[in-house]
Amino acid sequence: MQGVSLDHTDRKILDLLQTNAGINATAIGERIGLSQSACWRRIQRMREDGVIRDQPVVLDREKVGLTTMVFAHVKLTSHGRSNISAFAEAVKRYPEVMDCYVVLGNVDFLLRIVAADIKAYEQFFFEKLSQLPGIQEVNSSIVLSDIKHTTALPI
């Protein structure tokens, strides 16, 4: 995938959108010295180019009752590795899995999973994750505290 050409003004707009979810084109324009319409056109172009994919609301997982976060390192059997896409499709159906990455190294996947508590993760692990075909090994790391979490890219 090739990058999109972004100038300094585009990058300022993106930075403001990342750090101020509710900000509108008028407020952005005022901060960076553009008219509302020029700012809106740039935002629309970046949406059309796929630079801006979404503007989600970011929730505090602990305040909504998801106090446990786990990183699961998943290794597939050699037979399971021949069908990585089947595993990927299966984990997409689990809302507990926040992120799933195919990785190089001694494991095949890295998952970020949230649950209400350790007991809820245990239930997810035994009833869903470990039941997927082709799994050889899962190593789970429980997160004790968040030091840094951001969705803002360093543009």
And the tokens for 127?
A: 């009833």
Q: What is the CATH number of domain 68-142?
A: 3.30.70.920
Look at residues 57, 61, 74 and name the one whose alpha carbon lies nearest to residue 143. Answer: 61
Q: With a cut of 70, say whether residue 133 has pLDDT above it.
A: yes
Looking at residue 56, its pLDDT comes to: 78
d(CA 117, CA 56): 25
Q: How far apart are CA 52 and CA 18, in angstroms?
A: 10
The overall pTM is greater than 0.85: no
What is 8-48's CATH topology? Arc Repressor Mutant, subunit A (1.10.10)
Contacts 24+ apart (CB under 8 A), 19-27: 19/152, 21/55, 21/56, 21/57, 21/58
How confident is the model over 28-45, as a mean pLDDT?
96
Domain definitions of the chain by residue range? 8-48, 68-142
